Structure 1
Amino acid sequence: MNNDDLNTLQKIMIEGKREFLEKGFKDASLRNIVKGAGVTTGAFYGYYPDKKALFEALVLPVVNGLREIFLLAQEEFDRLPKADKKENVYDYTSDEVKKFVAYIYDHFDEFKLLISCAEGTAFSDFVHNLVEIEVEYTLKFVESTGNDAMASGRATPELLHIISSAFFSAVFEVVKHDMSKEAADTYIDSLKQFFTAGWQRILNP
């Protein structure tokens, strides 16, 4: 791809992001995107078959990046010795949440697209994938540490799914409300305290 192609592609992506952020995917106009980018519709189709493909190009890298960060953290914790898992679970989780939120703020516009503008795309429920990973590794933690939360009935797979969904939904409120990073850090600290207290009640009553 030569410099002219790269320049054209960059213009299309910049205008696409602006249009999607302003109107959401469903109401975004391809005509406005190409007009704002100063290119023809034919030129647009040389890069993307439709606006859905453009939206995907804008958000898929950060979706994959966040999933990779999250999954790596889960896998690393899962490999720890049982005693370390028991002792460090809350501190480890707190540190990983900080990394998670930092990544969101490094790519805030893209997460704004995902959280507030993705209706009508395959990404409208991207949080569900994170929830599934969280539930899978929470069950592994319970089993590997010999915790009786599941056996006693204090927890069920359904409850774990609901708690995880609630947590991720709460985290992404920082995006919905356009919080500054400073405000978000304070909010997330309070959120972690709230959910940690709940997990302690379930895992160590």
Structure 2
Amino acid sequence: MQTKKEEIQQAIFKSAENEFLEKGFEKASLRQIVKKAGTSLGNFYNYYENKEALFVSIVEGAYIGMMQLVNNHNQWEGNDVLLDLTDVAVWRRELRRLILPIVPAITTPFVILIEGSQGTQFAHAKEDLLAMMEEHFMEHIEEFNPKYPNPQMAKVMAEQLIFGLVMIVKNHKDDEMRQQLIIEEILFFAIGIMGILKTS
């Protein structure tokens, strides 16, 4: 019986993930979610209080993971080593080691969080993340080149990084390829930013 309940809950979760990804929270239909999960609306309430509680269960882990990533990136073991590296192959290897623990947070729930959270307690998530990323880029500008002439690029870079991650997740379902592209994008931004700051 317990296994059956877990299967039903997982079916609801997966169905909701697809519905929220396609339509966002506000336009998502709870009736469609339970129908595609092969259960009833009445049974749904045995697992979740309401549609928003279901939404929270899907995106909360992604939100926490992304906030931790931005807040703690300077504390990663080996972070200082990256700053001294000039070999791109070594950068790629070290970067992979550093970000692998957070890659699981950059999945479908991350896209839902960024694109489909209007009407929920996470409606501010995209703006929060963009603001934190902009601040992160500004910290690097101030640390490595305070005289950099275009600090406004920090906001542009933050938006482009988040947009790129969303596109990778939406367009690539294979976990290995997705992981590789996420690492490549972060590598692209990291090397590009450091290169610009060191030469400007």
TM-score by length of 1: 0.66
Q: Deviations over 1:101-159 (max 9, x none)?
A: 9725x76332343355445444455343333333444444455x5x3x33x25243x43
1:185 counterpart = 2:170? no
CA shift in 2, pair 1:142/1:186, >3 Å:
closer
Partner Cα separation in structure 1 for residue 181 and residue 61 of structure 2: 28
Partner of 2:197: 202
| Alignment check: 8 A CA contact 1:59 1:114 kept | yes
1:166 counterpart = 2:160? yes
SS in 1 for 2:156: helix
1:111 counterpart = 2:148? no
Q: 2:157 is aligned with what amino acid?
A: I
Partner Cα separation in structure 2 for residue 98 and residue 32 of structure 1: 40
Within the candidate set 154, 174, 196, 2:149 is matched to 154
> How many equivalent pairs are there?
196
Partner Cα separation in structure 2 for residue 41 and residue 173 of structure 1: 33
Partner Cα separation in structure 2 for residue 14 and residue 170 of structure 1: 24
Partner of 2:45: 45
Partner Cα separation in structure 2 for residue 177 and residue 101 of structure 1: 22
Where does the alignment leave 5 or more consecutive residues of structure 1 unmatched? none
| Alignment check: 8 A CA contact 2:62 2:109 kept | yes
Partner of 1:65: 65
Q: 1:19 is aligned with what amino acid?
A: E
Partner of 1:20: 20
CA shift in 2, pair 1:172/1:188, >3 Å:
farther
| Aligned-residue CA RMSD (Å) | 4.2
Partner of 1:34: 34
| Alignment check: 8 A CA contact 1:116 1:176 kept | no
CA shift in 2, pair 1:62/1:194, >3 Å:
closer
TM-score by length of 2: 0.67
Where does the alignment leave 5 or more consecutive residues of structure 2 unmatched? none
Deviation at 1:36, TM superposition (A): 3.4
Deviation at 1:94, TM superposition (A): 7.1
Deviation at 1:190, TM superposition (A): 6.7
Partner Cα separation in structure 2 for residue 167 and residue 185 of structure 1: 15
CA shift in 2, pair 1:55/1:169, >3 Å:
same
Larger Rg: 1
CA shift in 2, pair 1:99/1:175, >3 Å:
same
| Alignment check: 8 A CA contact 1:69 1:100 kept | no
| Alignment check: 8 A CA contact 2:111 2:169 kept | yes
| Alignment check: 8 A CA contact 1:155 1:202 kept | no
| Alignment check: 8 A CA contact 1:78 1:140 kept | no
